[in-house]
Amino acid sequence: MIKPVKVTGLAVALVLTGFATQAQQDNHTQTEELPKGWHLLDKTKDGFYGISVDKAYEFIKQKGLKSKTVVVAVIDSGVDTLHEDLKPILWKNPKEIPGNGIDDDGNGYIDDVYGWNFIGNKDGRNLKQDSYEGARVYHALKAKYEGKKIDPATLKGDELEEYNMWLKAKARIEGGNGEPEIDLMLLKRLLKGAKKGDSILQVALSKETYTGNDLDTLVPKTPVDKAARENILYLFRANQQMEQSNKELIGEFEEFVNGEERKAEAKEKAPPSYRKDIIGDDENDINDKYYGNPDVMAATPFHGTHVSGIIGAVRNNGKGMDGVADDVRIMMIRAVPDGDEHDKDIALAIRYAVDNGAKVINMSFGKDFSPQKKWIDDAVRYADTKGVLLVHAAGNDAKNVDTADNFPNAAFRDGKGRATNWITVGASGDPKSGGVTAPFSNYGKKEVDVFAPGVRIYSTIPGTTTYGNAQGTSMASPVVAGAAAFLLEYFPYLTPQQIKYCLEKSAQAPANKVTKPGTEEEVPLSELSRTGGVINVYEAAKIAATLQPQKGTPQKKVAKPTLQNKKG
């Protein structure tokens, strides 16, 4: 899963509880701190492998172009609607009167002012935690296939696909699928020790909240303080986020451990029906779509807030940080819990975004199984007919997604081609901070289109006036979504395919080989993605300026996908 991904499972639980590799342990002596907003900088002018945003705006100014507002939908965990750098750029439904309990615009969603929450209940309850799709698939089909003599040669179409998916889920849940095992007991001990050390350090520092940098300068007064400092500082360094707060570090570590515990429990029993117990819809019926509530903040807005700021936080206002695009409206669609998202929620979220005017959709989430992928494919095709571009994060498992599943993706399950209005994004960094490729990023010569900055990205976080770093392909994806929105602002006639062309054609290839994530192997970036480059907004804008509106070209006549109750 990508999830709301702020870290890579505490450096994948310190490299699957074998603790960190020597390279990770020594990383703080080998790299430099990146400046806030480094991802926007220009390599030639500033010395960092950013996306040349200022040069892009200078180019637009020279051309005398004026912007046209672009709506960007963010399908995520929620957003802080009160944040100082986001309030002015949040989408507000012009046809909806806030809080009157009436569906003023008749779209089926009452009081959808900022967007919609597909993982909430009409009574106001919201889903925070959910299970993993692999566990759901395994237990849903266990009675049908476990212990039965199945001849795959007798199965066809959906049934064969279902059986193969169950076999994959069985291997994942029961083990023996070649993936490394995680020592859960050791993880729990590490977490318990981290919590104890954190309490000691709060006293030693005389404050409840501190960063890795604060800890780095602490001179311990007692042996107990010294031991606590060494242990927690090790976690900060292994996770490569010294600017992160202790609360975020410990909270994310605990979230990772809880997730691994849920995975372990899935071997013995079916996961709780988190979603069913709260939402109350018929999850097997895609036509049952008017569920949820308008609470797009809920209690889990960190990830969506950070993503939204990367795309379009108000530029040049002297507050916090600048987004990539300068004239956007962020439509938040809450559909991603702590755990794996459900295909139905994602499919309907895409449709909601399209029907309410979004032209770019950012999707910083993902998982290994997609039982109703056909519903999502139908929604993606629908988005294409309306001229909507979808941008998706490649994932944070240092895997080759040409061979390892990462859903959703551009390949249609029915075998009828690929979505051309889709961009998959890997995460890049800077040589000064460890390399051009992020060590956690998924990659794929066929499936990953481009790379974009996703290491130590400074952006908005919940708290009205609060900002901080996070990293993952979850951060790289909105960099690309923001770049796409920028192009649409100034070249509003561009089709999704033309935007994709501009971003890919202009991607900058590193001069030297890069590190293949998860290994020490040095390869050309062209071995890790289709373009072999990192996006550059300035170069993309120059290409966009040479393209013309497709006058006289009839709109593609693609039948509007029907909402059918299909089992994928």
Looking at 129-133, 354-358, 445-449, which range is the least confident one? 129-133
- In this predicted structure, which of 27-31, 397-401, 458-462 has the lowest mean pLDDT? 27-31
Is pLDDT of 565 > 50? no
pLDDT (mean) for 222-226: 95
Beta bridge partners of 423: 391
Axis crossing angle, helix 9-16 with helix 223-238, rounded to the nearest 10: 110
**Architecture in CATH for domain 31-126+287-544:** 3-Layer(aba) Sandwich (3.40)
DSSP SS3 for 272 = coil
Given the DSSP bridges, would you call strands 360-363 and 328-334 parallel, antiparallel or unpaired? unpaired
Model pLDDT for residues 167-198, shown as the tens digit of each residue: 999 998 887 555 556 778 888 888 999 999 99
Name the more confident of 238 and 14.
238
Contact 50, 279 (CB under 8 A): no
Name beta bridge partners: 363: 75, 392
Confidence at residue 177, expressed as pLDDT on a 0 to 100 scale: 54
> Which residue from 297, 357, 362 is spatially nearest to 324, judged by alpha carbons?
362
The full set of domain ranges for the chain reads 31-126+287-544, 133-180
In this predicted model, which residue has the larger pLDDT, 548 or 326? 326
Residue 566, pLDDT above cutoff 80: no
Q: Whole-angstrom Cα distance, residue 126 to residue 376? A: 23
209-215: Cβ within 8 A, 24+ apart: 209/245, 209/246, 209/247, 210/245, 210/246, 211/236, 211/242, 211/243, 211/244, 211/245, 211/246, 212/236, 212/237, 212/241, 212/242, 212/243, 212/244, 212/249, 213/242, 213/243
Tell me the C-alpha distance between 397 and 11, whole Å.
Answer: 10
14: left (phi over 0), alpha (psi -120 to 50) or beta: left
Give strand pairing partners of 394. Answer: none
pLDDT tens figures, 109-123: 999 999 999 999 999
Kindly state the average pLDDT of the residues 329-337: 98
For 458, phi then psi, to 5°, come to -90, 125
Amino acid 257: pLDDT? 87
User: Can you list the alpha helix ranges (DSSP code H) found in 17-145?
Assistant: 22-25, 27-30, 43-46, 53-63, 133-145
How confident is the model over 526-532, as a mean pLDDT? 98
Tell me the angle at which helices 496-505 and 537-544 cross, rounded to the nearest 10 degrees: 130
Q: How far apart are CA 438 and CA 511, in angstroms?
A: 17
**What is residue 31's predicted lDDT score, i.e. its pLDDT?**
55
Whether 295 has a pLDDT exceeding 90, the answer reads yes
Q: Which residue has the higher pLDDT, 187 or 388?
A: 388
Query: Which position has the token pair 């318990």?
Result: 192
**pLDDT exceeds 50 at position 1:** no
Token couple for 205: 């520092």
pLDDT (tens digit per residue) in 463-507? 999 998 888 999 999 999 999 999 999 999 999 999 999 999 999
- Segment among 44-58, 232-246, 515-529 with least mean pLDDT: 232-246
Whether the CB-CB separation of 275 and 130 falls below 8 Å is answered with yes
Is the pLDDT at 313 greater than 70? The verdict is yes
Higher pLDDT, 176 or 518: 518
- 481-to-40, 392, 499, 525, 526 alpha-carbon distances in Å: 14, 9, 10, 21, 22
- pLDDT of 398 > 90? The answer is yes
